[in-house]
């Protein structure tokens, strides 16, 4: 009898995490690669969007707000649409990394093919060929001269003294955490001074300012 009950559980119980991995909901666009799907904030897998404050140049050399244009274009196409998603992990901002589809079409593939976002080749090669085709046909952003979003973000990092290399990060939960060189997440941590994040010259200085050390 016990064996029969155990077999019944194995046949009909969902694997741990299976329900959480699959989710659906209405899209609210935050930017080109970040969305709220229902109550869940996701970062779309395999793509990288231009920053909202990023600019591009036309063939005539005229500067224009391409970062804001991307947000507007993605909203016009997908705001309120229903998305079916598969969670793949969590990023350092505690967003769910996910692959999503709308009407059966891969959302990341659609955005890359339309020239609205770039393929994030550092993390995935899934959409690289689609980006190449969009570039070749001047789709979307590729009709202008632009800087790679990741390069743009790195260029915005403040220049600091070589003696002040401790990164004072503020998490999405408003926790003030500092990272020292050689720690696990040091290289991935970016400092945004507009958010109140800052650089420190010593751990003692960081603690005195209200930051706590990263666990690893």
pLDDT score at 162: 55
pLDDT higher than threshold 80 for residue 15: no
Quote the DSSP letter at residue 145: B
pLDDT score at 201: 86
Contact 93, 174 (CB under 8 A): no
Residue 107: pLDDT band by 50, 70, 90 thresholds? very high
pLDDT score at 156: 62
pLDDT score at 148: 87
By 3-state DSSP, what share of the chain in percent is helix, strand and coil, each rounded to 5?
30, 25, 45
Which residue ranges form the domains of the chain, and what is each CATH number? 17-146 (2.40.50.90), 157-213 (no CATH)
Q: How far is CA 175 from CA 178, 191, 212, in A?
A: 10, 14, 8
Return the higher-pLDDT residue of 119 and 202: 119
pLDDT higher than threshold 70 for residue 132: yes
DSSP alpha helix (H) spans, 79-213: 107-113, 128-136, 149-155, 203-208
Return the higher-pLDDT residue of 153 and 30: 30
Instruction: Give the whole-angstrom CA distance, residue 45 versus residue 47.
Output: 6
pLDDT score at 60: 87
The token pair that represents 14 in the structure block: 């969902």
pLDDT higher than threshold 50 for residue 216: yes
pLDDT score at 16: 34
Residues whose CB falls within 8 Å of the CB of residue 152, separated by 6 or more in sequence, listed in order: 50, 51, 54
Return the higher-pLDDT residue of 65 and 19: 65
pLDDT score at 158: 55
Contact 100, 109 (CB under 8 A): no
Instruction: Give the whole-angstrom CA distance, residue 198 versus residue 208.
Output: 13
Instruction: Give the whole-angstrom CA distance, residue 117 versus residue 100.
Output: 15
Closest CA to 82 of 108, 100, 109: 100
Instruction: Give the whole-angstrom CA distance, residue 148 versus residue 130.
Output: 16
């Amino acid at each position: 009898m016990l064996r029969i009950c155990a077999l019944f559980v194995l046949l009909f119980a969902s694997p741990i995490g299976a329900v959480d991995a699959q989710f659906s909901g209405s899209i609210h666009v935050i930017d080109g690669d970040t969305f709220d799907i229902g109550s869940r904030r996701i970062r779309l897998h395999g793509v990288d969007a231009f920053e909202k404050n990023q600019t591009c140049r036309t063939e005539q050399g005229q500067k224009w707000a391409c970062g804001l244009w991307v947000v507007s274009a993605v909203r016009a196409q997908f705001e309120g649409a229903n998305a079916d998603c598969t969670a793949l992990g969590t990023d350092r901002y505690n967003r769910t990394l996910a692959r999503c589809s709308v009407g059966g079409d891969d959302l990341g593939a659609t955005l890359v093919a339309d020239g609205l976002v770039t393929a994030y080749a550092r993390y995935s090669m899934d959409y690289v060929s689609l980006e190449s085709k969009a570039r070749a046909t001047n789709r979307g952003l590729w009709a202008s001269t632009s800087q790679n979003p990741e390069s743009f973000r790195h260029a915005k990092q403040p220049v600091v003294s070589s003696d002040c290399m401790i990164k004072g990060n503020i998490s999405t939960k408003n926790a003030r955490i500092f990272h020292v060189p050689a720690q696990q997440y040091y290289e991935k941590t970016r400092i945004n001074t507009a958010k109140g994040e800052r650089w420190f010259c010593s751990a003692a200085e960081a603690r005195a300012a209200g930051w706590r050390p990263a666990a690893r």
